[in-house]
């Protein structure tokens, strides 16, 4: 694989697995996170494989920072073939505190969740689309969540933001299709890691909602992302990668 790939949120558990899978496939990968130290550490790890990797620290809630990352990628490698926006998180994941009822959210907490999950998606689309239009093709894959379709308890801000991601994905797919730019959304299901902020009862409730009685696997999810990035005739679609019935 000779594609140039940007993975936002690559220093999180799921984003790192996506970046690792693209790197092992031989892609040139930009790993994005909030701090330079963490992205450089991940880039150093991934550069031991067949791919070429460099780290770029940027906050996806800032359009100027995302735009600068895309420009740095084009300056180094001449194009952007795939952008995977894996940056995001619930209130608990973003703050380290507990998730809250809708009426207990402060305005600042609501803005934080929406800015990272929905505005961040808009910023990534807006920043990368002009380059993909110029090169007449590309694939934008948005990591969303089944919570945007079927709300969980204490998930109001996250649900609202991820529901917005689905609508934005469809609108972008319609507007960018004439330039052979594919835009899709993929829902990973529940993956427990150090930032999930889950307690055991919530995990058990999630398991009961699945048809197969197991949590999602990050390696399987990453494999699907790489697979989808190579498809030429899929756009405007949502893929659910756990066994919950959402639609």
Query: Are the C-beta atoms of residues 38 and 245 closer than 8 Å to each other?
Result: no
Q: What are 41's two structure tokens?
A: 């550490």
Active-site position among 63, 158, 179, 199: 158
Distances (CA, A) of 49 to 25, 26, 53, 65, 119: 9, 8, 9, 28, 33
- Measured CA to CA, the distance from residue 137 to residue 139 in angstroms comes to 7
Whether 158 is catalytic is: yes
Strands 28-33, 52-57: pairing is parallel
Q: How far is residue 44's CA from residue 221's CA, in Å, rounded to a whole number? A: 23
14 vs 85: CA distance, rounded Å: 11
Across the beta sheet with 28-33, the strand order is 52-57, 28-33, 4-8, 82-85, 138-143, 181-187, 238-240
Cα–Cα distance, 29 to 43 (Å, whole number): 9
Residue 5 DSSP code: E
Residues marked as catalytic: 158
């Amino acid at each position: 694989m000779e594609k140039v790939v940007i993975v936002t949120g690559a220093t999180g558990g799921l984003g790192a697995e996506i970046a690792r899978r693209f790197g092992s496939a031989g892609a040139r990968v930009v790993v994005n996170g909030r701090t330079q130290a963490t992205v450089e550490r991940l880039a150093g790890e991934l550069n031991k494989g067949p791919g070429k990797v460099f780290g770029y620290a940027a906050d996806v809630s800032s359009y100027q920072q995302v735009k600068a990352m895309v420009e740095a990628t084009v300056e180094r490698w001449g194009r952007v073939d795939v952008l995977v926006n894996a940056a995001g998180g619930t209130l608990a994941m973003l703050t380290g505190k507990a998730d809250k009822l809708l009426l207990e959210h402060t305005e600042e907490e609501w803005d934080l969740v929406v800015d990272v999950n929905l505005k961040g998606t808009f910023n990534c689309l807006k920043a990368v689309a002009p380059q993909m239009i110029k090169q007449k093709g590309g694939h934008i894959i948005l990591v969303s969540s089944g919570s945007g379709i079927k709300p969980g308890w204490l998930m109001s801000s996250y649900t609202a933001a991820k529901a917005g991601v689905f609508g934005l994905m469809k609108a972008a797919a319609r507007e960018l299709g004439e330039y052979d730019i594919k835009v899709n959304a993929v829902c990973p299901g529940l993956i427990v890691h150090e930032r999930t902020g889950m307690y055991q009862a919530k995990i058990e409730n999630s398991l009961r909602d699945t048809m197969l009685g197991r949590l999602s696997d990050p390696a399987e999810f990453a494999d699907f992302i790489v697979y989808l990035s190579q498809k030429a005739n899929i756009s405007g679609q949502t893929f659910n990668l756990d066994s919950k019935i959402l639609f």
